[in-house]
Structure 1
């Protein structure tokens, strides 16, 4: 049995902290090992626990800042960062995304989405809720999103793009489509080249843009 994900929670709002603590209290896959309630406690608690995951409320007013997030990798390199914030300012959100965090959720997300984010980000994968994906799309594509770009893909590539965006592994896609993993990888490389994809998140961005999947 895999060890539970060890989480350090940084949130100076007692109700939010209590809610997450209660939510994860009965979960065998993740547990909160300590809480950061003051900014000056972040570094010593990271050094003490070296957690798998830091869940933080990003706050430009001084609680957990971009500088703090950058410092996490120096203090505890194995710790991934998941932001759960009520801040809906696009500029602030883009600012924190540029700091290299793996996941970002709003506080309106469902319990299921929060658990999926915790598991994904702890594995080093990226996970963004639909609102954050919309902001990323706007940043990447501006006002004119290239709807016609899907025309450069073959029917098979479009099908594989959809499955990749849904989180399927190369092996599962190969099994489902009765292809070899090598063939799926070849199509994947072609999709990356044609769409100039630079990160796994962009598979989701394009799939949503093309109407292949709906935002989570």
Structure 2
């Protein structure tokens, strides 16, 4: 794993280097703060968006021109709604906060390298809190059946497939089929992304009528 680091927090950079190198001696962190030409090959970009936001934003805009398909993890020191929404609008694969420990960060790095998207619970909490304050619903961009909406609402509320099956008096196999169909229709790969979808569309406020 080759991680390109952008940020002014030297302590964070050293800690990140020690973390990933302790997991695999082939892992390495490459500082990209002063790199403008002859860009090195990297597997992902790690952007410290908390120490110096302006610097990180400028470097991010510059480097994404060259690293067009490289996954990005943003590390933020604050998780107010405005900041979170701005970060998500960039299409990044992961947003983690300073409250996350290094084990969570490493697991997230591995996940986005496999094509996943990861948002820490603090980020999700902000989005959930904002959605509950909205009184109007947005249009649902995909067509879900009444049963799929019921299943989705329970998934987002933390129910397991077994619990959903018991709640709706359906078989475990049927619930798993519904979950797969929902993920396919919505176009996401994880429950975290499903939560974001449900909250951003106002789906959690729908009544099963």
Structure with more contact order per residue of length (Cα contacts < 8 Å, sep ≥ 6): 2
Please give the secondary structure, in 2, of the residue aligned with 1:104: strand
Q: For each residue in 1:37-87, what CA deviation from the matched residue of structure 2 results, as whole angstroms up to 9, or x when unmatched?
A: x4xx2543xx5213111111125642210x543443320223211011213
Match of 1:114 in 2: 105
Please give the secondary structure, in 2, of the residue aligned with 1:49: coil
Which of 110, 113, 120 is residue 129 of structure 1 equivalent to? Answer: 120
What stretches of structure 2 of length at least 5 have no aligned partner? 137-145, 161-171, 205-209
Query: CA–CA distance in 2 between the matches of 1:69 and 1:198?
Result: 26
Q: Relative to 1, partners in 2 of residues 1:22 and 1:137: Cα closer, same or farther, differing over 3 Å? A: same
How many pairs are equivalent? 178
1:51 and 2:45 aligned: no
Which of 59, 67, 84 is residue 75 of structure 2 equivalent to? Answer: 84
Aligned residues of 1:85 and 1:107 also touching (Cα < 8 A): yes
What stretches of structure 1 of length at least 5 have no aligned partner? 147-151, 167-176, 211-216
Match of 1:149 in 2: none
Query: CA–CA distance in 1 between the matches of 2:148 and 2:41?
Result: 46
1:51-200 map, 5 Å: 51-59=42-50, 61-65=53-57, 67-139=58-130, 141-144=131-134, 152-153=146-147, 157=151, 161=155, 177-178=172-173, 185-186=180-181, 188-189=183-184, 192=185, 197=186, 199-200=188-189
Match of 2:22 in 1: 26
Q: 1:25 deviation in Å?
A: 2.1
Query: CA–CA distance in 2 between the matches of 1:165 and 1:13?
Result: 39
Q: For each residue in 1:110-169, what CA deviation from the matched residue of structure 2 results, as whole angstroms up to 9, or x when unmatched?
A: 232111110112223210101111223345x251489xxxxx43699359946x999xxx
Aligned residues of 1:10 and 1:56 also touching (Cα < 8 A): yes
Aligned residues of 1:10 and 1:55 also touching (Cα < 8 A): yes
Query: CA–CA distance in 1 between the matches of 2:6 and 2:89?
Result: 19
Q: Relative to 1, partners in 2 of residues 1:113 and 1:29: Cα closer, same or farther, differing over 3 Å? A: farther
Q: Relative to 1, partners in 2 of residues 1:26 and 1:161: Cα closer, same or farther, differing over 3 Å? A: same
